[in-house]
């Protein structure tokens, strides 16, 4: 395995995307880098065992999500400040309600944040999220519902009522207005 060019190519090609994913999960640059580093170390150890049909990226992202929930669960809950990554300037940050939404996302419990990140950032189905996090589909739905309720309360709509948080992708069939939707 030592010096496998496929592993080095994977890290070079996907490293930045994995760091962004880690940042969305963890809420700060330092924890994101730790998640990526630990997941890539585990990938390196598992590289010879990965079958051709297995995606190294799926392996790393699943590992990162599980590490986020388990390793950092032991830490005391800290107020996230959402440190700016190198090269990001204040004027590129979201403003107004979008910034409030990001701060509210950062304040969610880790499992709820992970469920929302996997659902709306990674576009995974509830069944896929359940596999990644090692929880039931029902738990995925309940964690998502609780998280969305908190986000709606944190980001009021223009008319003062709670905002309707909707998926950004038109391909995601979730309805978030309080009706049950049995996702794929």
Mean pLDDT throughout 15-21?
92
Domain that holds residue 132: 92-184
Q: How many domains does the chain have?
A: 2
Residue 7 predicted with pLDDT over 60: yes
Same domain? For 73 and 114 the reply is no
Same domain? For 47 and 123 the reply is no
Residue 86 covered by a domain: no
The last residue of a domain, from among 59, 81, 103: 81
Residue 58 covered by a domain: yes
Tens of pLDDT, residue by residue over 65-122, are: 889 887 655 554 444 444 544 554 444 444 556 777 778 888 899 899 999 988 988 8
Tens of pLDDT, residue by residue over 109-138, are: 989 999 998 898 888 899 989 988 889 999
The last residue of a domain, from among 81, 106, 126: 81
Whole-model pTM: value is 0.57
The last residue of a domain, from among 34, 49, 81: 81
Same domain? For 97 and 157 the reply is yes
Same domain? For 96 and 23 the reply is no
SS (H, E, C) 55-84: CHHHHHHHHHHHHHHHCHHHCCCCCCCCCC
**CATH number of the structural domain spanning residue 70:** 1.10.1740
Half-sphere exposure of 34 (CA within 13 A, CB side): 11
Is residue 117 a contact partner of residue 25, using CB atoms and an 8 Å limit?
Answer: yes
Same domain? For 41 and 104 the reply is no
Residue 76 covered by a domain: yes
């Amino acid at each position: 395995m030592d010096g496998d060019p496929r592993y080095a190519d994977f890290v070079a090609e996907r490293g930045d995307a994995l760091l962004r994913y880690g940042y969305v999960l963890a809420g700060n640059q330092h924890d994101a880098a730790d998640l990526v580093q630990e997941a890539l170390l585990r990938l390196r150890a598992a590289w010879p065992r990965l079958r051709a049909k297995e995606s190294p990226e799926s392996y790393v992202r699943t590992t990162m999500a599980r590490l986020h929930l388990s390793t950092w669960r032991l830490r005391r809950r800290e107020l996230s400040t959402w440190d700016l990554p190198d090269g990001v300037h204040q004027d590129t940050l979201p403003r107004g309600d979008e910034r409030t939404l990001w701060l509210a996302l950062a304040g969610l419990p880790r499992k709820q944040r992970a469920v929302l990140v996997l659902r709306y950032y990674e576009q995974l189905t509830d069944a896929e999220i359940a596999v990644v996090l090692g929880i039931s589909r029902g738990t995925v739905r309940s964690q998502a519902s609780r998280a969305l309720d908190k986000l709606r309360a944190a980001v009021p709509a223009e008319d003062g009522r709670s905002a309707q948080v909707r998926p950004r992708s038109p391909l995601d069939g979730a309805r978030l207005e309080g009706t049950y939707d049995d996702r794929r």
